[in-house]
Amino acid sequence: MRLLFLGDMVGKTGRTAVWERLPGLIADLKLDFVIVNGENAAGGFGITEDIYLETINAGADVVTTGNHVWDQKEAVTFCERHDQFLRPANYPAGTPGRGSGLYYARNGARVLVANIMGRVFMHPELDDPFKSAEAILSVCPLKEQADAIVFDFHAEATSEKQCFGHFVDGRASFVVGTHTHVPTADHQILNGGTAYMSDAGMCGDYDSSLGMEKEEPLNRFISKMPKGRFEAAHGPATICGVGVDISDRTGLAEKIAPVRIGPRLTETLPEFWR
């Protein structure tokens, strides 16, 4: 199975780049399954139902989120209407929406996708992400109820992300970190066969501060005083993510490589997809 994960879409420039390029990527690369993190898609803060639907229409099979999931008030209600929309699974019981789901890939494979949020340097501090993952895996084990299992681990600390990867190694197909908006260079297959990358990066304007126009963040670092609001940067976007080939026999990873399409960062596609 051939899977593409795209990191946090930031603002209009980020989401538009994804919508424009994704259909062609699915066709040209023969992608079986696509996951997109959309938690910063609405001006950098949250996601609206219209943006979610456009992302699904562009070819995403699942849209994940993170700590900004509720920044747009409508998300509290529309999350209940869409099974392909995920918020972190380790929110307390009774929180609207769902944190994981079982979906069918284009090749017929059953794909479990789970959205988990870390707790180190994160707000709000949610339930234990490791216990949450254990509960998900216990009811839907790899190669029993699911042919592939993917975790979007939305967290700040790379140590927490790496430990989470080791925790599910051999029991999940792929663990990818989101939230920091900067792609890491540690894509690898762990000892047990789980593909791992600490952060997929963002889909947005990299002439910025994490996808935001850089003047106001820079001002706050220097003066410690706000002069205005953070606004999503509007320059050309680079699409960042990661590609994984997953064994149909074992459900574990066979290959992993970064994906970067657009200006500023060096463009790259997995050689095994060319």
Per residue in 104-150, pLDDT (tens digit) is 999 999 999 999 999 999 999 999 999 999 999 999 999 999 999 99
Q: pLDDT-based confidence at 167, cuts 50/70/90?
A: very high
- Judge whether 202 and 40 are in contact, CB under 8 Å: yes
Indicate whether 263 pLDDT > 90. Answer: yes
pTM of the model: 0.98
| Bigger pLDDT: 233 vs 273 | 233
- What fold is seen in the domain 2-273? Purple Acid Phosphatase; chain A, domain 2 (3.60.21)
Average pLDDT on 86-101 reads 98
Nearest to 151 by CA among 194, 105, 96, 91: 194
Q: What is the 3-state secondary structure (H, E, C) of 124-171?
A: CCCCCHHHHHHHHHHHCCECCCECEEEEEEECCCHHHHHHHHHHHECC
Q: pLDDT-based confidence at 56, cuts 50/70/90?
A: very high
Give the pLDDT of residue 196.
99
- Pairing label, strands 148-154, 174-178: parallel
181 is in an annotated binding site: yes
Rounded to whole angstroms, the Cα distance separating 273 from 215 reads 38
- Pairing label, strands 188-189, 202-203: unpaired
Indicate whether 51 pLDDT > 90. Answer: yes
80 is in an annotated binding site: no
Q: pLDDT-based confidence at 18, cuts 50/70/90?
A: very high
Mean pLDDT, all residues of the chain: 97
Q: Two tokens at 274?
A: 């060319």
Q: Nearest 5°: CA angle at 40, between 98 and 167?
A: 55
67 is in an annotated binding site: yes
Catalytic site residue 68? yes
187 is in an annotated binding site: no
Indicate whether 229 pLDDT > 90. Answer: yes
Give the pLDDT of residue 274.
79
List the strands of the sheet with 33-37, edge to edge. Answer: 62-64, 33-37, 2-6, 239-246, 253-261
How big is the chain by its Cα radius of gyration, in Å? Answer: 17
Sign of CA dihedral 167, 88, 122, 149: positive
For the chain, percent of residues with pLDDT exceeding 70: 100
> Which stretches of the chain are DSSP H helices?
11-29, 49-57, 75-78, 129-139, 158-168, 215-223
Q: How far does CA 266 lie from the centroid of its chain? A: 20
170-183: pLDDT as tens digits: 999 999 999 999 99
Residue 5 DSSP code: E
90 is in an annotated binding site: no
Give the pLDDT of residue 60.
98
Q: Is the peptide bond before 124 cis (omega within 30 degrees of 0)?
A: yes
Give the pLDDT of residue 64.
98
Q: Two tokens at 122?
A: 């994160």
Average pLDDT on 14-32 reads 97
- Enumerate the domain spans of the chain: 2-273
Average pLDDT on 152-181 reads 98
Catalytic residue among 68, 82, 123, 187: 68
- Judge whether 240 and 260 are in contact, CB under 8 Å: yes
